[in-house]
Amino acid sequence: MTKHSNKKSRFVILISGRGSNMQKIVETCKNENWSADISAVISNNPRASGLDWAKDNNINSISLDSSSYSDRDKFDSDLSSEIDKYSPDYILLAGFMRILGHSFVKKYYGKLINIHPSLLPAFPGLNTHSNAIASGVRIHGCTVHFVSPELDSGPIIAQGYTNVFTHDTVKTLAERVLMVEHKVLPSVAHWLTLGEVTLNNDNKAIILNDHNGLFYL
């Protein structure tokens, strides 16, 4: 059901680099006056420029250097401890370049949202743009989905797409897909604040109020 409470939705956003998707969410949230609180931005890369941007915008910014952890479960545990300080309704993976363990994902299942730079189930994992060009597809894009223990296979909430042209390089295609991401992820985040995204008993994502889960650039 659509949420009618005055309670603000609390988000924690995970990044690994400049966090352009994170920035777009924060800016759109402010400009459109969402009932939401971006409680913290956390990065596994202490040199991520997105942390500085978050700090400059008065958002709690935390770094956990994943390269200093020899134990993957320990990193996940410490990350979970940081997240839990903010009691978020949702955790958004916005360019978070680290695979999270099964226990972590199961703990937050239904709250953990990722954006992946391909039209899943096509091209899971890395090198999506080069794989798209090499395969000869004419359409490419991004997918926002609930995170499941299986990599890049959770229930799909929304997708955005763009054409692939014969003259495209990995760089030009990546830039255009990023523009699509900047439309899709903030839209999904807004739907979440309205209580208009849910999982049914078959673990399929349901979007209420007839929102269109497909975007084109």
116 catalytic residue (yes or no): yes
Q: Tell whether residue 133 is among the known ligand binding residues.
A: no
- Among residues 4, 102, 116, 182, the one annotated as catalytic is 116
Please check if 125 is assigned to a binding site.
no
Whose CA is closest to 16, among 55, 53, 48? 48
List CB contacts of 64: < 8 A, sequence separation 6 or more: 42, 43, 44, 75, 78, 79, 82
Count how many Cα atoms sit within 13 Å of the Cα of residue 5 in the half-sphere of its side chain. 10
User: 19 among the known binding-site residues?
Assistant: yes
Residue type, 46: P
97 is in an annotated binding site: yes
Question: Quick check: helix, strand or coil at residue 29?
Answer: helix
**Is residue 21 part of an annotated ligand binding site?**
yes
200 annotated binding-site participant: no
Q: Which residues pair with 163 in a beta bridge?
A: 139
**Residue 33 annotated as part of some ligand binding site:** no
Active site residues: 116
Q: Which residues are annotated as a binding site?
A: 19-21, 72, 97-100, 114
- Give the annotated binding-site residues for (6R)-10-formyltetrahydrofolate: 72, 97-100, 114
